[in-house]
Amino acid sequence: MRGPPRWHHHHLPTHPHIGRAPPMPHPPLAAAAVILRRRLLLSSPLASSSRARRIFSRAMDSSTTAAAAQHAGGAAAGEYEEVLGRLSSLITQKVRADTGNRGNQWDLMGRYLQILELEEPIARMKVIHVAGTKGKGSTCTFTESILRSCGFRTGLFTSPHLMDVRERFRLDGVDISEEKFLKYFWCCWNKLKEKTDDDIPMPAYFRFMALLAFKIFSAEQVDVALLEVGLGGKFDATNVVKSPVVCGISSLGYDHMEILGNTLGEIAGEKAGIFKKGVPAYTAPQPEEAMVALKRRASELGISLQVVDPLKPHQLKDQHLGLQGEHQYENAGLAVALASTWLEKQGHVDRMPLNHTDPLPDQFIRGLSSASLQGRAQIVPDSQVNSEEKDRDSSLVFYLDGAHSPESMEICARWFSHATKEQSQTCSKSRKILLFNCMSVRDPMRLLPHLVDTATQNGVHFDLALFVPNQSQHNKLGSKASAPAGPEQIDLSWQLSLQAVWEKLLHDDNKGSNSTDSGETSLVFESLPLAIEWLRKNAIEDPSTSYQVLVTGSLHLIGDVLRLLKK
């Protein structure tokens, strides 16, 4: 496999924190982009391959068509872009750990509810509230799907979105329409703009999103509103709900430690902030330290906290869960408890499971097996490379999972190992490639070792790791626009740091082994599209090999990859 120009290789670090200076001058990144594009598009034999030319031509055609469609959309497309720009203006530049994001400022949520006249509607709403470190989005998705299968009108608020901001607001399992989104956005925006000032500023981005969700679900008269906590619990914008029907805590672990605390007990204490007096609460099995903190808070409020066991496969009557991965049985078990309690509290005892061990009612099974959530254990064959390969297996497949905590890295590695083994049984040769980025608030020394060690324990070794910046850093929030086409100076110091961590991991793992493999083990690309093009080029040139690419470390990266693959 050929790589990009020499100065991006792991043995030529350029970042001051990585170590040695490069033995040759570091060419400007803009020039690197031009050289790399030229190599990708013109290098032999690809340039002379008629099939390759068709693929790259098709990619250019699709971007032209998309531009034409956007132009044809006229005013609607322009209005949507304007709304995304206004939402982007609410994203605070403060560090998230800044105390200004909590405490006294959180009290402003009450004022925002008054301005939008949402206090009464929220009090009437039949809410299921879910916090957690990992699995809370999956738990909400399962619960929503169960209750929708039981015949109820559902509203689901989750975060973050992957490709379009409307993914955060689902009505009856479908992203809110652009028309409705625009209507409710302007209703909230105009009222808040009119009544806010220096003393009461416009709400920060996520708070506005939560307020918008309350507006949408109340106006659409949903039977049940499922709210996924954005961050923590106690000071989260969704925690203005005073009397949910039931609360849930999915699996807890170390994440957002700069805000929530350095111990599992502190983190659990923040999550338990969603518990309310008189409201039943459920939790997935937790580490002891976390469980103690959850039980302490439940005891202070005088409520029962029940620990829910993972769902057993036989309870699904030979059906599979709609979300892949063994860990989803834990989320599904919590979802069944939440949905059952909601049904009981609303007087629908006839639709509840009889007990915790027998097979579930058909509508529960239907809901669990049809649940879907993008970017979690999602497998996407690349249509550009595979479309003309009807006579054999896919040669380029992306395995997408938004894991970004140490624990979820392990779960992700186990899933990838299992999923690729299934595919490898049908193809003789495969290459395992990691496509990775994480936010700079994360510690790669806590993430990458968990990924590598768990993959190794499950018999998977990565042939290559690719490190890229997120493309979405160029875009307005959720914009359909792409990153700038022209080369520009991009700071790759973080990606080079990630690469250095990776190389040290491999070096330490190979100590004491007889491995003499001096081949390339990692590359840094200055943009995600260039990395995707490079993968496609290699897959086309090597049709006898299946390229299995694990994309993980950041939900933003997952969204960027999905957006590129679906063009």
φ, ψ for residue 439, nearest 5 deg: -70, 150
Other C-beta atoms within 10 Å of 354: how many? Answer: 9
How would you classify the pairing of strands 305-307 and 545-552?
Answer: unpaired
Tell me if 522 sits within 8 A of 372, measured CB to CB: no
Strand pairing of 154-157 and 246-249? unpaired
* 305 contact partners, CB below 8 Å, separation of at least 6: 275, 281, 282, 283, 294, 295, 298
What is d(CA 188, CA 208) in angstroms, rounded to the nearest whole number? Answer: 8
Delineate the domains of the chain, giving CATH numbers in brackets. 82-91+103-370 (3.40.1190.10), 378-478+491-510+519-566 (3.90.190.20)
> What is the reported pLDDT for 139?
98
Residue pair 228/140 in contact by the 8 Å Cβ criterion: yes
Average pLDDT over residues 320-326: 92
Lowest-confidence region among 65-79, 308-322, 389-403: 65-79
At 76, the pLDDT band (50, 70, 90 cuts) reads confident
β-pair partners for 243? none
Q: Which pLDDT band holds residue 1 (cuts at 50, 70, 90)?
A: very low
By CB atoms closer than 10 A (0-12, 13-18, 19+), residue 117 is exposed
Mean of pLDDT over the chain = 83
Place of tokens 């080369």: 487
Count of all residues that appear for the chain in the document: 567
Mean pLDDT, range 143-160, rounded to an integer = 97
Residue numbers belonging to the annotated binding site for Mg(2+) = 159, 228, 256
Q: Is the pLDDT of residue 388 over 70?
A: no
Provide the pLDDT for residue 363. Answer: 96
Question: Does the pLDDT at position 539 exceed 90?
Answer: yes
Mean pLDDT of 328-349: 96
The whole-angstrom separation of Cα 205 and Cα 546 is 42
Rounded distance, CA 522 to CA 12, Å?
11
Give the residue carrying structure tokens 């809410």: 127
What is the pTM for the complete model shown?
Answer: 0.80
Point out the least confidently predicted range of 324-328, 441-445, 517-521.
517-521
What confidence tens digit (pLDDT) does each residue in 89-132 have?
Answer: 998 755 444 444 443 478 899 999 999 999 999 999 999 999 99
The mean per-residue pLDDT over the stretch 419-427 comes to: 72
Which residues lie closer than 8 Å to 42 by C-beta, 6 or more apart?
none
Q: What residue numbers does the annotated binding site for ATP cover? A: 376, 401
The candidate with the shortest Cα–Cα distance to 434, out of 515, 505, 508, is 505
The predicted pLDDT at position 342 comes to 98
Q: How far is Cα 147 from Cα 342, in angstroms, rounded to an integer? A: 9
CA proximity to 204, closest of 228, 181, 231, 178: 231
Which H or E element spans position 501?
Answer: helix 493-510
Model confidence at 60, pLDDT cuts 50, 70, 90, reads very low
Dist. CA 502–CA 435, nearest whole Å: 12
302: left (phi over 0), alpha (psi -120 to 50) or beta: left
Residue 565's pLDDT band (cuts 50, 70, 90): very high
Report pLDDT for 505: 93
pLDDT in tens, 136-148: 999 999 999 999 9
Tokens for 123, please give them: 């009090």
Q: How confident is the model at residue 477 (pLDDT cuts 50, 70, 90)?
A: low
Identify whether the C-beta of residue 415 lies closer than 8 Å to the C-beta of residue 324: yes
Residue 409 banded pLDDT, cuts 50, 70, 90: very high
pLDDT band at 508 (very low <50, low <70, confident <90, very high): confident
Tokens of 358: 């027998």
What residues form the annotated binding site? 159, 228, 256, 376, 401
Top-confidence residue, 43 or 144: 144
238: tokens are: 């969704």
